[in-house]
Structure 1
Amino acid sequence: MKNSENYQNLANNLRAIIGILELDRTSPLYRDGIAICQYLENPIFRIAVFGPFNYGKSTLLNAILGQRTLPIDLIPTTGAAIHVRYGRELQTRITLTNSREITENGTDILKQFAILDDNRRMRDDVAKVEVFCPHPFLQTGVELLDLPGTDDREAQDALVREQLLTADLVIQVLDARKLMTLGEREHLRDWLMDRGIKTVVFVANFLNLLEPDEQKQVYNRLLFVAESFRSELPNNISNLYRVDALPALRARLKGDTAAAQITGLGIFESALQSIVAAKQEKTAIQFPRVEAIAISIQQAGETKAQAISAEITAAEAKDKAKLEIKQKAQKLIQKGFSASVSDFQGWLYLPKLIERYQSELASALQNGTFAIWEEEIFKIAIAEYQEDIIKWVNQASEFFDCHQPPELTIPFPNPPEIILPPPPLQPNTSKESGNVTPLAIATGLGWMLAGVVGAAVVGGATYLFGKGSNESEVPKSSVSYLDLVVQAYREAAKDYLTHFTTEAFAVLQEYEQIAETIINCHVKEEALKITTQHHQLQLLQTLLHNLSEDLSM
């Protein structure tokens, strides 16, 4: 990584991967990742002062600045990360979580926004605290970062842990009155070393409160601890300094340079200037800690990619199984539908239809029971075929989640009209006599026999020729006439069935075309989710590839 453009690309890739990971905003990886991105986007040389509460961190920074810039007290006070930057005059800017900014001269406003409340809790409406100070050291591009004390509250520890990632140099303040605690050692390992933060110097405070013999013993012990930590500092720069913070601040406030030197402040400031000069000359970015967090994010991204890939594989397998089921169902439905249509078509085949229904329809016409026959026999038989056909289409509609088909409605012709031949002339009756009785009368359903042949039974029954006749046989002319009557009814029945089957075939053919579109339709909702996952996986893999290239530069 050599220039700001590369740093910005790395930050963009990290932010994008963090977004895809959908991390909890309170998780360490999320907070570390965002902190590193902010550090990359604003690579000022930042010096963070770090340590448990009441170790004198703010007092040390005030001594460096030569004035009471930061709030100090005998109880833990710092409740926010206070960024101290160069400014032409002492000024404080508070940025709230709603993006509102409050700017005031001096630092009195810190008492309202940057100290702990009565329950030693940080304010949750403060996003950032900045102090601008006209100090020559800050003018060189340095920012001092006063952090809340550790080992007090979990929220404060999380804030400190996050902000340490943005520091180019960490000053860990030690209390000379006690050896390094287990908590301090864990922080040194977990918060600094394991996260690639190795540019660290230790400052022993409160040595002035010990007896002279004790001071030497304690300092040697602390020196052993410091030397065990491999700080990445310029050559000939120690990583352990003695600074009596409160006496140093008092000396600076009085302008007593000699007294300040006795506290160790001058030596420490000289070391800081040397470290800053060496680091700024080499690079503005402390890349090891960036790399450490970036690798953690990269690993989380690779795990996420594997999870998405597994989800896609499972979804595709599930979708394939569903597709196979649909294909099998489609074949069964298509087969059942075709069989039902074929059965109906076979039933509608005119020769068979005439063979099955012509005689009983002709009889119904003659007896005036056509309407009953049509409703109770003919339509019921047709309804069974209709229901069987519609059943398959409805199943397809429900199974494939397609639109409901229209009903299969078979039309029926109007009731047939029968035209009977004129009856034969009876003996002793002339056309001119005017005594001919009509043989047939029109009815709404056909024609009924009447008059002298009213008792004739069409289809082979006895025919009573006339009232006074003693003949036992029907005259041949009458028998011939009965044949004509029977034939008239049969022709009417055939004509009705012919019209019916013609219309039924046409409607059935049209319905088949509609039904085919329903039976062959496919649902693609599952594919949309898989496509989204594919895009997410492709994007994540691209970002991970870019991140690998950024880290290798």
Structure 2
Amino acid sequence: MSQIENYKNLAVSLKFASNLLDLNSTSQLHQNVISICNYLINPNFRIAVFGPFNHGKSTLLNAMLGNRTLPIDLIPTTGAAITVKYGSDVRTRIMLIDGTEVYRSGTEILQQFAILDGNRQMRKDVASVEVFCPHPFLETGVEFVDLPGTNDREEQDNLVKEQLLGVDLVVQLLDARKLMTLGERENLRDWLLDRGIKTVIFVANFINLLEPDEQKQVQNRLLFVAESFRAKLPPGFSNLYRVDALPALRARLKGDVTAATSSGLVAFEAALQNTVGILQQNRGDVRLPRVEAIAAQIQQSLKAKIDPILSEIKSFDEKENSKIEIKQKAANLINQGFTNSSREIREWLSLPNLLAKYQADAAVALAENNFKSWQTNILKKDLTELQLGVVKWLYQAYSFFQAQRPEDLSISFPSEPQVTLPPRPGNSDDLSEPGSIAVGGGIGWLLGGPVGAAVVGSISYLLNKNIQQQDEKVANESYHQQVAKVCIAAIEDYFSDFSEQGLSILAGYEHKATKIIYFQVSQEPLEVSQKREQLQQLTNSFNQLQRELETAKISLNYQLYPEILKRSNTKREYFPQPEKVSTYSTKNPREQQRQENRTKNNHTNVEPPRQQVSPPPPPPKASPSARPAEVEAKFRNWELDEEIAQMKAEMRSPGFNTAKQQQTNQTKTAPKQPKTQVEKDKFARAYNILGLPINASLAEVKQAYRNLVKKWHPDLFISKSQQQKQAQDKMHLINEAYTILSEKYN
């Protein structure tokens, strides 16, 4: 990409950034940006003649051009910045603010548009004034700019300051009779040096009006001025020249070369043309310093707008992201608890487990005509506890997220099992069959006397032996064994229906839970969205300007702003990640045979009882790890409840901070120091019970408490009454110690 293209891109970025700052059109910075941008994209080399009014600026330019192109008078006349460009003939173009163009041959029209009026005021309707002149120096891509005089009116001074930013070389005209006044020194510093304009040549006028002795003194003073100002000119070229402007103009108009030379004009023109020729080849060294000065102001202004909004948006995002993070964690924790509870009831509802745990007692209750009472007091009680364990997590979710209100999990029981007795043999009092153990005091509801008691005993006997391996034929079975098998088969059918129906209801309930254990991230407030849009525009503009400055090899030591992420304006839904859970078939290996025989066992007219019924395996004996695992599950649910409650408290606290800030604050919280010896002893005893050193951290206290609960929970010793009593006493001390130390840290 060419240098001019780079400059064009830089100008576009500067203008765009300036527009975002909403600068007043009359402000100095806005005017400077317009000037510097026009300057950047102008391919010509611009030379401005600068100085107080009545110093002979227009006279000097006319002398260089060889005619009276520009208006000259004894009073301040130039009322506009007049740009002199190359043209095949002399003509003038005036551009008015309303867009009107006035194009005339010659320069007489300047008297109407480019000089001060009777009140020494500039015209308000003039946008630009251009004069085209057939001069060979201008044909090399050079433009002259005749500026209004300074130190006359503020309006003129502002125009001059604005124009100076858009020139490559400044010719500062000095009056030798009053050399370098205070105003000129201030202008040199404020209008040129401080704005990066250092390509300056001083030209002293009116030296011819001084006596010879005065001329020598002035010459020495001029050398001092030139040496004290470090101009950025090519090596070997002076920054100080003497030109008697009016004699030079007269000499040029007469064609007197000797007079033109003695006026200093020829030497100055030669030096000027050589200097310009070199500077044109290194235009970046001339233009970029003043661009840097303006760009620095723009970037500082952008940063002043960006940083407060960025801080506000960052704070908002941190709070929102922290809330989302807590809600996500809560959703996952609740889902974990719900999954564990669902898995527990699913395992309980599996047919093998139901038969293993309840079939014997249910069959006995059926034989004793006590099934309904057993179902209410045992089976329903266990089911209700498990259902509540599942439902509580959905109410936790509703409390936390306020989504859809959950329904209760309601698993109903099948109809009470019905049996039909097989035909009774002739010898009904035959109780000699091995394994027919009578239950003392048990009277069957189907049979009276000892036969009923024998049926109840046979149920226990049959369920505790492998019937499938029996070689006895039905004909050799005792009557009470046949009746016991009918009761066992009826209970198996009952639990099969209960398992199938319960698992189906549970599956539907788990599906509904997905609408409850989730939360939505709502749209952010319109005010925040608007600020985010504004911030994005500002940072994009800043970054683009920074890149263009780097391309132009201007370094302002600023870092690019990170990309501003735009938040979604639509509601977002968050679902917890589902855990993989074991599924249990509602059918066991005997299910197909059971389905085929169900009808036979549940109608009043029933075929003779089945020859072989495969009972479930006997209930497994609890392994040493089974009880700790159960305690571990209960304790984990308690931990989940506690953690969710803590997150609710954090979310609802007035001074809600980000999660990381909360964690930092908790970590830095110092424990309460005991004030009395009694308190010291109390804390020391609590640490000792938990097996911790004095002043252990809160995290260490919680971990020690977890470990001790898992070790001394009374449920671990449920079959050992004496050890259970010791565990209860130990847990009492552990809970008391944990309570004391928890209060110390709160």
CA gap of 1:207–1:225, structure 2 versus 1, over 3 A, is same
Q: Deviations over 1:360-419 (max 9, x none)?
A: xxxxxxxxxxxxxxxxxxxxxxxxxxxxxxxxxxxxxxxxxxxxxxxxxxxxxxxxxxxx
Tell me, what secondary structure is at the counterpart of 1:88?
coil
Q: Which residue of 2 aligns with 1:304?
A: 305
| Map 1:113-512 → 2, pairs under 5 A | 113-283=113-283, 286-310=287-311, 312=313
Q: Which residue of 1 aligns with 2:551?
A: 550
Does the 8 Å CA contact 1:54/1:74 hold for their aligned counterparts? yes
Does the 8 Å CA contact 1:50/1:57 hold for their aligned counterparts? yes
Query: In terms of mean alpha carbon deviation, does 19-28 or 115-124 score higher?
Result: 19-28
Cα offset, 1:293, TM superposition: 1.9
Q: Provide TM-score, normalisation by structure 1.
A: 0.61
Q: Partner amino acid for 2:187?
A: H
Q: Which residue of 2 aligns with 1:531?
A: 532
Partner Cα separation in structure 2 for residue 37 and residue 521 of structure 1: 45
Alignment of 1:38 onto 2:38: yes
CA gap of 1:48–1:311, structure 2 versus 1, over 3 A, is farther
Q: Which residue of 2 aligns with 1:391?
A: none
Cα offset, 1:524, TM superposition: 4.1
Does the 8 Å CA contact 2:49/2:173 hold for their aligned counterparts? yes
Partner Cα separation in structure 2 for residue 216 and residue 222 of structure 1: 10
Cα offset, 1:283, TM superposition: 3.0
Partner Cα separation in structure 2 for residue 541 and residue 214 of structure 1: 55
Partner Cα separation in structure 2 for residue 35 and residue 100 of structure 1: 21
* Structure 1 unaligned regions, length at least 5: 325-519
CA gap of 1:260–1:20, structure 2 versus 1, over 3 A, is same
CA gap of 1:208–1:100, structure 2 versus 1, over 3 A, is same
Cα offset, 1:546, TM superposition: 2.1
Partner Cα separation in structure 2 for residue 521 and residue 137 of structure 1: 69
Partner Cα separation in structure 1 for residue 282 and residue 528 of structure 2: 53
Q: Which residue of 1 aligns with 2:102?
A: 102
Partner Cα separation in structure 2 for residue 296 and residue 200 of structure 1: 23
Cα offset, 1:153, TM superposition: 0.9
Q: Deviations over 1:7-52 (max 9, x none)?
A: 1111111111111111122222211111110011113100000000
Does the 8 Å CA contact 1:243/1:263 hold for their aligned counterparts? yes
Does the 8 Å CA contact 2:200/2:232 hold for their aligned counterparts? yes
Partner Cα separation in structure 2 for residue 247 and residue 44 of structure 1: 30
Q: Which residue of 2 aligns with 1:63?
A: 63
Q: Partner amino acid for 2:132?
A: F
CA gap of 1:175–1:525, structure 2 versus 1, over 3 A, is same
Partner Cα separation in structure 1 for residue 524 and residue 278 of structure 2: 66
Partner Cα separation in structure 1 for residue 309 and residue 65 of structure 2: 52
Cα offset, 1:121, TM superposition: 1.1
CA gap of 1:252–1:95, structure 2 versus 1, over 3 A, is same
CA gap of 1:311–1:548, structure 2 versus 1, over 3 A, is farther
Q: Partner amino acid for 1:170?
A: V
Does the 8 Å CA contact 2:55/2:205 hold for their aligned counterparts? yes
Does the 8 Å CA contact 1:54/1:149 hold for their aligned counterparts? yes
Partner Cα separation in structure 2 for residue 524 and residue 293 of structure 1: 37
CA gap of 1:116–1:21, structure 2 versus 1, over 3 A, is same
Partner Cα separation in structure 1 for residue 141 and residue 35 of structure 2: 19
Q: Partner amino acid for 1:175?
A: D
Tell me, what secondary structure is at the counterpart of 1:171?
strand
Q: Which residue of 2 aligns with 1:81?
A: 81
CA gap of 1:278–1:541, structure 2 versus 1, over 3 A, is closer
Partner Cα separation in structure 2 for residue 288 and residue 522 of structure 1: 47
Q: How many residues align?
A: 357
Does the 8 Å CA contact 2:40/2:287 hold for their aligned counterparts? no
Cα offset, 1:539, TM superposition: 2.3
Q: Which residue of 1 aligns with 2:631?
A: none
Instruction: Give the alignment's Cα RMSD to 1 decimal.
Output: 2.5
Q: Which residue of 2 aligns with 1:3?
A: 3
Q: Deviations over 1:195-242 (max 9, x none)?
A: 111110000001111111101101210220111111111222111111
Tell me, what secondary structure is at the counterpart of 1:136?
coil
Partner Cα separation in structure 1 for residue 85 and residue 39 of structure 2: 15
Cα offset, 1:316, TM superposition: 7.0
Partner Cα separation in structure 2 for residue 114 and residue 35 of structure 1: 20
Does the 8 Å CA contact 1:172/1:201 hold for their aligned counterparts? yes
Q: Which residue of 2 aligns with 1:512?
A: none
CA gap of 1:531–1:281, structure 2 versus 1, over 3 A, is closer
Q: Partner amino acid for 2:295?
A: A
* Structure 2 unaligned regions, length at least 5: 325-520, 555-746
Cα offset, 1:194, TM superposition: 1.1
Q: Deviations over 1:133-154 (max 9, x none)?
A: 0011101110000000011111
CA gap of 1:82–1:521, structure 2 versus 1, over 3 A, is closer
Q: Partner amino acid for 2:265?
A: L
Q: Partner amino acid for 1:292?
A: A
CA gap of 1:43–1:306, structure 2 versus 1, over 3 A, is farther
Partner Cα separation in structure 1 for residue 155 and residue 59 of structure 2: 23
Tell me the percent identity.
Answer: 61
Cα offset, 1:548, TM superposition: 4.1
Does the 8 Å CA contact 2:172/2:203 hold for their aligned counterparts? yes
Partner Cα separation in structure 1 for residue 60 and residue 311 of structure 2: 54
Does the 8 Å CA contact 2:87/2:134 hold for their aligned counterparts? yes
Cα offset, 1:90, TM superposition: 0.2
Partner Cα separation in structure 2 for residue 141 and residue 315 of structure 1: 56
Query: In terms of mean alpha carbon deviation, does 103-112 or 234-243 score higher?
Result: 234-243
Cα offset, 1:257, TM superposition: 1.0
Does the 8 Å CA contact 1:38/1:166 hold for their aligned counterparts? yes
Does the 8 Å CA contact 1:315/1:530 hold for their aligned counterparts? no
Asked which structure has the greater RCO (Cα within 8 Å, sep 6+), the reply is: 1
Partner Cα separation in structure 2 for residue 244 and residue 204 of structure 1: 8
